[in-house]
Chains A and B, each alone.
Chain A
Amino acid sequence: MNRSLRPLVATALIFAIAYALAVMQFPSMFSTRVLGNFLTDNAFLGIAAVGMTFVILSGGIDLSVGAVIGFTGVLVAVLISWLGLHPLLAFAIAIIVAGAFGAIMGLAIHYLQVPAFIVTLAGMFLARGGASVITRDSVPINHEFYAWISDLTIRLSGGGRLSVIGLTMVAIFIIGALLAHRTKFGSYVYALGGNPVSASLMGVPVARTTVAIYALSSILAAISGIVFSLYTSAGYPLAAVGVELDAISAVVIGGTLLTGGYGFVLGTFIGVMLLGLVQTYIIFDGTLSSWWTKIVIGILLFLFIVLQRLIFVASAPGEKTSKA
């Protein structure tokens, strides 16, 4: 079997088994209602995780995701509630701002030749700080458009409903998968993660691709922020703290190699669903406390890192950067 498929298969198996076990214990978890909520509740994480997948596939990391979600929420709320803009216009502005923000981080990473984590760390501070400077309080959004969107759901038999939010996530996963696996840009992303020196010798536009990757990640984080604001009907500067860690975890648990070059967007979807399953199970159980989520995620993260280490023993750490 193709070795890059192995972690993906492992994730899918773990998800199937875990879900089966959960259903055996709580039969009501097997319902359209739970599945529908699954999509809705994890939508903002899933959308951000798609962007993170591209970043990690290219061998980088983006710590600014959670902060960009928070910033976008505040920006959108302020544009709508204080300035009276139409939500769609506010969304467009937020996406453009975030895209520029990500592009600047990409430029810094490429031209300053510094590790992505420190640049995106600065980005995180900047976005959180920016959001908090705009407002320190939660800004509610009361707009008929928001109400209309929230009501717009597809009812499923069995009491479940598919929300716009959940469908947006599914759509973004499909677009993300097409982008990663079916376009030249996607092949450049994998090329950078595989070996940046080879990639540049083979004619990959490294600078342009790096900028595009981080711009994409920030744009998706902005969309995630918009979704989060739809979900909560408010913008709050400290929203989504630590979501970048959940997104990274989902990507890795979804079978993407943390050092880049291997992985699938679909895997990230399963990773997000697995994280969601852990949370839902803990809620269903009632006696387990929410902190178990973090511990279980940590354990899964560890298992997958070791699994990848065993599958991809060939590439030694730290050697990729030194030769550039």
Chain B
Amino acid sequence: MAETGYALEARGIVKIFGNHVALDKVDFGLRPGEVHALLGENGAGKSTLIKILTGAYQPTLGDVIVDGAPVTLNNPQHAQTYGIGTVYQEVNLLPNRSVAENLYLGHQPTWFGFVDRRKMERDARTVLARYGLDIDPSSELGAHSVAVQQIVAIARAVELSGKVLILDEPTASLDRNEVERLFDIIRDLKAQGLAVVFITHFLDQVFAIADRVTILRNGKLIDTKSLDNLTRTDVVRLMLGKDIAFSGATQLEENRPLGEVLLDFKGYGKKRSVMPFNLTIHKGEVVGVAGLLGSGRTEMARIMFGADSADEGTVSVAGKPTSISKPTDAIAHGFGFCPEDRKAEGIFGDLSVRENIVIALQGKLGWFSALTRDEQMEIAGRYGESMDIRAASLDMPIKLLSGGNQQKAILSRWLATDPTFLILDEPTRGIDVGAHAEIVRTINRLRDEGLALVVISSELDEVVAYSSRIVVMRDRELVAELNGENINPGVIVQAIANHKDGVQA
């Protein structure tokens, strides 16, 4: 397999963090003049691969090859000298500086040590014109839309590197017209022979712009294929690892009588985040939420819990209309929420396991009805045991625990508040098999005890196994609700992949 003609190639890349294998013998080849989409769910290893290709990380094993010769990339600047430029998801430029300076920072034309601003702005104008931008190069970058900033970032990367352009979710916060504009630019660059890596969660965009696709799952290379003979369903299946043929084998939740209505969201939504949705949730049911990353599934969870406040629609709890504009409102109604990003929003790293478990209950009790240490120990011990939290001591900082045990602790935190409704966002991501099984078991147990649950997961097998109902999110919209026999991976994959008529890009 001595393929040549790659502008940038990764061969047999292995990256290990501690005892976690983030990339397992991944090969990746990028040809000049192609747009190559890189797909995978969170934790699939996309960003690790990108960081290796741009020199931000060093591979544990394997080679990065530029124009046929193995290279060591020390850092992103060093990668730039090999012609590899990157545009990150969050526009990583300086909104406080002028457009021209953002294009040329570190490479400004100088005249006796002074920046020749006039020449810099003249050059900037010429460059921007090539990207179809007619803006004042001396204006502040932050004054322009995200789309324009994104184009400036691309222009900088191309001007400074010029061979390989890596676009890490450049479209995440753009609207349709802006995306089209960006795509025109990418097509131009491609025509000039640039090799482009394109990372996105929007399948429509992959099909609109990419020539080939590489799919990663759990740190492993699934496949690299030309998009010509692939359908959307094929791609989703490769990403989620589901065979349609597999679907029949899944055990369906038998139709049980529904409990009484606990929650009723009507026209609930938030601009630029989630389009209005209707959702009724009964006691004793698990509503599974399926959808790719960026489909609005997390945003939906956040407005349900009041972490972001909805700007339209109504919600009623147990038949009574109410408003949930902040987490304390939600908690007062007996809600609980395990966020997707455990480290940033879930755990209190330096606090003990015990404190992490009792904190929500204590929050509910307020400042003055403090749980004594013994009560805390009792509660933490009880959940530690029933959830099988493996910690040497409940007094050790939670940051020292494994991801699975941290997740169990956060779940325990909410169970301790005696909730009626739990929202779990990717509760089983990145955790070991034992903890995984424990959490699935708990979800089933809670449903049988009469709790209402909303569970977001990209593990379709798992969603199918415990959900009474499944709603599918796509492009920030709730697009389908699946019941009964429709709850099987095949139908879900179809629903996720389904392309709406008449909508482009």
Q: B-contacting residues of A (Cβ < 8 Å)? A: 2-4, 178, 182-184, 186-188, 190-191, 193-195, 197-199, 201-204, 261-262, 314
Contact = CB atoms under 8 A, between A and B. Distances in A.
A3 B143 CA distance: 9
A191 B110 contact: no
Task: Pick the most buried of B94, B106, B108, B140: most chain A CB atoms within 10 A of its CB.
Answer: B94
B96 A193 contact: yes
Contacts of A187: 97, 101, 105, 108, 115
B92 A202 contact: yes
B113 interface: yes
B191 to A, nearest CB: 27
Contacts of B88: 201
B140 A204 contact: no
Nearest to B139: A2
Nearest to B140: A2
B114 A198 contact: no
Contacts of A202: 92-94, 105-106, 156
A265 to B, nearest CB: 15
Contact of B94 (A4, A186, A191, A314): A191
Interface string B176-194: 0000000000000000000
A317 to B, nearest CB: 15
B182 to A, nearest CB: 20
Contacts of A190: 94, 96-97
B94 A182 contact: no
B114 A203 contact: no
9 contacts: A2-B143, A184-B108, A187-B108, A190-B94, A201-B92, A202-B93, A202-B105, A202-B106, A204-B105
Interface string B122-145: 000000000000000001101100
Given A198-B94, A202-B93, 19 more contacts: A4-B96, A178-B114, A183-B110, A183-B113, A183-B114, A184-B106, A184-B115, A186-B115, A187-B97, A187-B108, A190-B96, A191-B97, A194-B95, A195-B96, A197-B92, A201-B88, A203-B77, A203-B80, A261-B96
A204 B75 CA distance: 13
Contacts of B143: 2-3
B117 A182 contact: yes
A215 to B, nearest CB: 18
A179 B106 CA distance: 15
Q: Name A's interface SS.
A: helix
A262 B92 contact: no
B80 to A, nearest CB: 7
Contact of A198 (B93, B108, B117): B93
A183 B113 CA distance: 7
Report the 4 A-B pairs with minimum CB-CB distance, sorted nearest first.
A194-B96, A261-B96, A194-B94, A203-B106
Interface of B: 76-77, 80, 88, 92-97, 101, 105-106, 108, 110, 113-115, 117, 139-140, 142-143, 156
Given A194-B94, A194-B97, A195-B94, A184 B140 contact: no
B115 A183 contact: yes
Nearest to B114: A182
B110 A184 contact: yes
Contacts of A184: 106, 108, 110, 115
B106 A3 contact: no
A194 B117 CA distance: 20
B92 A198 contact: yes
A201 B55 CA distance: 11
Contacts of B139: 2
Contacts of A204: 105-106
A262 B96 CA distance: 7
B46 to A, nearest CB: 18
Contacts of B77: 203
Contacts of B93: 198, 202
Contacts of B76: 201, 203
A5 to B, nearest CB: 10
Task: Pick the most buried of A182, A187, A190, A202: most chain B CB atoms within 10 A of its CB.
Answer: A202
A184 B104 CA distance: 10
A202 B106 CA distance: 8
A183 B94 CA distance: 17
Nearest to B117: A182
Contacts of A2: 139-140, 143
Nearest to B78: A203
Contacts of A198: 92-94
A178 B112 CA distance: 12
A178 B142 CA distance: 24
A186 to B, nearest CB: 8
A4 B117 contact: no
A173 B170 CA distance: 42
B73 to A, nearest CB: 14
Nearest to B138: A2
B105 A203 contact: yes
B345 to A, nearest CB: 13
Contacts of B113: 183
Contacts of B117: 182
A178 B113 CA distance: 11
A4 B108 CA distance: 22
Nearest to A191: B94
Nearest to A263: B96
A314 B76 CA distance: 28
A2 B76 CA distance: 32
Nearest to A190: B97
Contacts of A201: 76, 88, 92
